[in-house]
Amino acid sequence: MTSSRLNASISLAIMACVLPAGAALASQGPGGGMGTASHLTQMAMAILVYGISAVVVGVGLIGAVRGR
């Protein structure tokens, strides 16, 4: 695997981890406290955001390992 392709995979994995954190906090209102969304909605959004992040990171890591 070329180093530029590996760097791109690592960058994508980092962005996939960092970007959804803001969306999860935004769903909870200002300051990370209780917002207008119900507890069930907040939990569903957190599972969705972090689950998708885990899948993206996992696919990136598998692709990096298989490329070697």
Local structure of residue 6 (DSSP, 8 states): H
pTM of the model as a whole: 0.44
Q: Which long-range contacts (CB under 8 A, 24 or more apart) does 31-36 make?
A: none
31 CB contacts (<8 Å, ≥6 apart)? none
**Interval 22-41 mean pLDDT:** 63
Q: What is the pLDDT of residues 41-67, one digit of tens each?
A: 889 999 999 999 999 999 999 988 888
> What local confidence, expressed as pLDDT, does residue 19 receive?
54
How many of the other CB atoms lie within 10 Å of CB of 28?
16
How many of the other CB atoms lie within 10 Å of CB of 3?
7
Closest CA to 28 of 38, 14, 16: 38
More confident residue, 6 or 42: 42
Q: Kindly report the average pLDDT of the chain as a whole number.
A: 73
